[in-house]
Amino acid sequence: MKAEKSIVKLFMDDDPEPFAELEAPVNFELDTRRLPDGEHTLTILGKDPAGREGIRRIPFVVRNGPSIAVEGIKEDAVVEGVLPIMVNAYGRGNQNRFLIEGSETPRSIPSWIWAALIVFFAWAAYYTITYF
Contacts (Cβ under 8 Å, ≥6 apart) of 4: 49
Are 69 and 45 spatial neighbours (Cβ–Cβ below 8 Å)? no
pTM exceeds 0.85, yes or no: no
* Closest C-alpha among 57, 56, 58, 53 to residue 7: 53
Could you report the per-residue pLDDT of 3-54, keeping only the tens digit for each? 688 899 999 998 999 998 988 888 888 888 889 989 999 999 999 988 899 9
Are 102 and 69 spatial neighbours (Cβ–Cβ below 8 Å)? no
Q: Centre a 10 Å sphere on the Cβ of residue 8 and count the other Cβ atoms it contains.
A: 19
Could you report the per-residue pLDDT of 95-111, keeping only the tens digit for each? 555 555 555 556 677 88
